[in-house]
Amino acid sequence: MFAYLVKRIFQSVIVMLAVALISFLLFAFVGDPVSNLVGQDTTIEQREIIREQLGLNDPFYIQFLNFIGHAVQGDFGQSWFWKKPVAELIASRLPVTLELVFVSALLAMGLGMLLGVLTAIHRYHWSARLLLTVSLVGVSLPTFLIGIGLIYLFSVILGWLPSFGRGKTMDLGLWETSLLSADGWAHIIMPAVTLSLFQMTLVLRLVRTEMLETLQTDFIKFARARGLGTRTVYYRHALRNTLVPVITIAGLNIGLLVAFSIITETVFQYPGVGLMFLKAVQLVDIPVMSAYLMLVALIFVAINFLVDVLYFAVDPRLRTQTS
Amino acid sequence: MVKTEQSRLRVFLDSDLVHSFKRSPLAITATLATLACFAVALLAPAISPHCIEPICLDLMNGLTPPAWTEYGDPAFPLGTDEQGRDILSAIFYASRVSLVVGFAAVGFGMVLGVALGIIAGYFGGWVDAVIMRLADMQLTFPSILVALLIAGVVRSIITDLAERGILTGITFEDVAVFVLIVAIGLSDWPRFARVARGATLVELNKGYVAAAKVLGLPARRIMVRHVLPNLMGPILVIATIGLALAIIAEATLSFLGVGVPPTNPSLGTLIRIGNEYLFSGEWWITLFPALGLVTLVLSVNIIGDWLRDALNPKLRR
């Protein structure tokens, strides 16, 4: 167990270092940090002093070590466009993305499981078949088209839901949440549905397959023979047995939600970190871009590491193999 | 020669693959739809009713609705965008860009991935370890994210170089298509590498590879002439599904504004342009390119699914 964990940590560190190197190269060689910080009328001597202060005249490896040192402390410098510390920008926008991902994950799990159970129980009903076919088509559609379709239907034609922004927010001290007001929910529901659709289909199909298998097993037959009600059999006994694979897959796919949140945020102009990154690309705001690269790498490395550890904890076969 | 070609054709026509194809109406429809998309893309200059170059656009024609609606103009069957560009012609040309990027990206990812996969499988040891660890590390990130990050970073580098006057005469718009091809191709190589490595390991245990080794053939020749042809089945399957994914990736990146620029639009760029007019009621600028994209992606996906089932020996009866 210990050796395995060390190996995994080692791999994660290598990935992080590789991404840090790319971020640093971007930081060091693209754009001129000095002219992006000062006004037009700064003299060459003053610029040279700032260069020296920023450590831009240091040797390459010292700059890289400094960069990592600062990054570990969460210091990514000033954004060239927003003229604010990058850390502050991320701190204000990351919760927005996380809230969106959180709501999407809940939707995908909740609705996906419910529909999965229903399509398994009523497997020959026409609506179950229709749902399965539609879900197949839905999976092969690009996310942004689904978003545009929802906006057109619910905002343009029906006028029920707002199409952009996150609505009214409430300051919780650590971050501003939009999940405590009806307006916030009205704003988050379409982005969340768009983002969760793919995941929901996965969960639906997985739960359905697992349920169909479980319903064939002896303990379900026995539960029925004991005269338990159909509901108890389905939800207490059968569903519980499908949960382990579903939770693992869903956990693994949280990363996908984070990745696809960039697209959803663009379609709905939802002000999270993904939208910030795309804006930074358009404006060549290098500090923001390099910080975003590190942030994304950290999120994915962390998720993968956690899932691996979880696998390890759940599956005894893995433990015996390595020891 | 002619005779062997003919008999090869007959063998092919009599194969399981063709028989299974004939029995699947869905696969036939999807193939026809895909071929139609290819034909439209190939013949775009010949069949487009209008020229879509900026020089021949007339702003007076801007935002004409489709021909069958009240204010439609029969000259523009699917309407026009804000610059007076005929939507139908724009879709024809755009599907060209989408397909070129899709094919080139998959080709690039496939060549890179398969080459590295065969090398990893054939040599084993530390070569294998390095290549596959690299693939594992990249697979930590979803491929669309990798493509987006590469395209975004390269885009800002080129913009910066152009602004500082180091790169003169080249703007991002000129190289956008190549950047996209490389970005999407690079994001996709680990899938090919994994499959190629796995299949190579299986082939290495077979007699013919041992025979080739005993004959003293060089490793490169064994890999290219003997192992590679036997990997074609599984590689074809992931390449087909990869094509659909690459087309989606291209459309997504173009929609996000880090892909193909509006001067030579792809389907994703057209949807991005149209999206700005959705609220003022000009739905046709978005809808028709979107339908084109969906048709293309869906039919390629269906072919990929069918191919996977048809080539899977476990499912063969």
In the CATH hierarchy, which top-level class contains the domain A94-322?
Answer: mainly alpha
| Predicted local distance difference test score (pLDDT) of residue A189 | 86
Q: Decide if B290 and A151 are in contact by the 8 Å CB cutoff.
A: no
Residue B259 has pLDDT above 60, yes or no: yes
| Predicted local distance difference test score (pLDDT) of residue A180 | 72
| Predicted local distance difference test score (pLDDT) of residue B114 | 93
- Tell me if chain A has a CB within 8 Å of the CB of B152: yes
pLDDT confidence tier of residue A323, bands split at 50, 70 and 90? very low
| Nearest residue, CB atoms, B155 vs list A144, A281, A293 | A281
Q: Is residue B97 within 8 Å of B242, Cβ to Cβ? A: no
ipTM of the prediction: 0.82
Q: For residue B85, which of B34, B51, B136 has the smallest C-alpha distance?
A: B51
| Predicted local distance difference test score (pLDDT) of residue B279 | 77
- Tell me if chain A has a CB within 8 Å of the CB of B137: yes
Residue to test with chain B: of A27, A29, A30, A157, most B Cβ within 10 A: A30
Q: Decide if A259 and B144 are in contact by the 8 Å CB cutoff.
A: yes
Q: Decide if A143 and B137 are in contact by the 8 Å CB cutoff.
A: no
- Tell me if chain A has a CB within 8 Å of the CB of B279: yes
pLDDT confidence tier of residue B1, bands split at 50, 70 and 90? very low
Q: What are the tens digits of pLDDT across the range A116-172?
A: 888 888 878 888 888 888 877 777 788 888 888 888 888 888 878 887 777 777 777
> Domain residue spans in chain A?
16-72, 94-322
pLDDT confidence tier of residue B111, bands split at 50, 70 and 90? very high
Q: List, in sequence order, the alpha helices (H) in B124-218.
A: 125-139, 143-163, 172-204, 207-214
Q: Decide if A140 and B275 are in contact by the 8 Å CB cutoff.
A: no
Q: Decide if B293 and A142 are in contact by the 8 Å CB cutoff.
A: yes
- Tell me if chain B has a CB within 8 Å of the CB of A33: no
Q: Decide if A144 and B244 are in contact by the 8 Å CB cutoff.
A: no
Residue to test with chain A: of B141, B143, B291, B299, most A Cβ within 10 A: B141
- Give B167→chain A minimum CA distance, Å: 13
Q: Decide if A144 and B271 are in contact by the 8 Å CB cutoff.
A: yes
Please tell me which of A100-114, B81-95, B159-173 the model is most confident about, judged by mean pLDDT.
A100-114
- Tell me if chain B has a CB within 8 Å of the CB of A163: yes
Q: Which residues of B touch A18 (CB under 8 A)?
A: 137
Residue B2 has pLDDT above 60, yes or no: no
| Predicted local distance difference test score (pLDDT) of residue A316 | 64
| Nearest residue, CB atoms, B298 vs list A14, A137, A282 | A137
Q: Decide if B160 and A259 are in contact by the 8 Å CB cutoff.
A: no
| Predicted local distance difference test score (pLDDT) of residue B68 | 74
Computed over every residue of chain B, the mean pLDDT equals 83
Please tell me the distance from the alpha carbon of residue A126 to that of residue A132, in angstroms, as a whole number.
Answer: 10
| Predicted local distance difference test score (pLDDT) of residue B182 | 93
Q: Which residue of A has its CA nearest to B145?
A: A259
- Tell me if chain B has a CB within 8 Å of the CB of A16: no
| Nearest residue, CB atoms, A148 vs list B140, B142, B275 | B275
pLDDT confidence tier of residue A315, bands split at 50, 70 and 90? low
